[in-house]
Amino acid sequence: MADWLAALTRRADLRAKAGLTRRLHPRAAADAVVDLAGNDYLGLSTHPQVIAAATQALSRYGLGATGSRLVRGSTEAHHALEDSLAGWLGTDRALVFSSGYLANVGAVRALVRPRTLLVSDAHNHASLIDGCRISGAETVVTPHADVAAVAAALAAAPGRPAVVVTESVFSVDGDLAPLVSLHRVAREHGALLLVDDAHGLGVTGPAGAGAVAAAGLAGEPDVVVTATLSKALGGAGGVVAGPAEFVRHLVETARTFIYDTALPPAVAAGVHAAVEVARTGDDRRAVLTERAATAVRRLRAAGLDVSNPDAAVVSVTAPGPQAATEWAAACRDRGVAVGCFRPPSTPDSRSRLRLTIGAGVPRADFEHALEVIVECAP
């Protein structure tokens, strides 16, 4: 009976030798670490207006939603948030899920019909990859940001329903997908475009409405947008936004919506307040842009290989998984939290530190963090 546990131990040992061990590091509510690892881009998770809205809803509704959205879990807070998100994103309707992961899985599955072809970018997030796999549809994985390859995949399947699946700002290197070109190619072949705007929403676009809006594609009938509510909005949950007919289809068929307990009402109310703050947060977005440019300039001056960020994600190449782990640990020991991305979390088998720029980090702390990263580099 213990054989299966021994097998798990052997697999853990192999991961350790490859530098792929993952550990949980609990943090206190008021730790002094400089955070360049979390996704609270605009610093809204602790914004007074957000906290007040969540606190008021907590006192009214209690801790949890008490059921799925179709049973008892839909509250006024959920519907107000959905209306606000749809207006911000420029879509007919929006539907809130309990996580961005479930929103992506549900959206991909709901777009699949018999004979559907999914054309997925090689650097897509795991939630999109899992959505493609769970859907059971034929999936062609195209080279990263390669519009010609997408066009070729669609041209090879004439007459079939198809969906082009991409992130907007990619979560590993922070580069922006060629959304306008992808939409043009998709439309030429009668395909739909699904865009995960998780790292664009709140950070880019008019009034922070995201990369889809920045590309002029908001409200297009052949575009579906997904996003998490846990990054620039500082909360939790996910959203799928698009034509009213598609959102109705999700409500009636999406298993990750129907059979999941709803997002807590207090979180929905807090995120709703965060949307209102984010819409008028051009000053915060300007800070992100300036700091991302500063990080690239400083790190490259130190001889490090750094990505060209299109939003607030900066990627720094490490020599290998073990080196990345040790680099991140050395930074943490000196009070700086950075992301450590190694295979299989990286789509190209390249290890790196990922820095997420936050407007809520004091300027002096940000400058100090860059110094620490350089001094701890392998």
Residues serving a catalytic function are 39, 125, 167, 171, 196, 199, 231
Start-to-end C-alpha separation, the chain: 44
User: What's the CA angle centered on 207, arms 206 and 208, to 5 degrees?
Assistant: 85
What is the residue whose two structure tokens read 């420029």? 90
Q: Could you give the dihedral angle defined by the CA atoms of residues 291, 230, 317 and 12, in that order, rounded to the nearest 10 degrees?
A: 150
Q: What are phi and psi of 68, to 5 degrees?
A: -70, 165
Within its chain, how far is the Cα of 189 from the centroid?
28
Rounded distance, CA 107 to CA 167, Å? 13
Q: Hey, what are 48's tokens? A: 């007074």
Helix, strand or coil for residue 68?
Answer: strand
Q: Hey, what are 95's tokens? A: 């539907």
Could you write out the DSSP letters of every residue in 210-274?
A: -HHHHTT-TT-TTEEEEEESSSTT-S--EEEEE-HHHHHHHHHH-HHHHTSBPPPHHHHHHHHHH
Nearest to 299 by CA among 335, 259, 327: 327
Strands 162-167 and 117-121 come out as: parallel
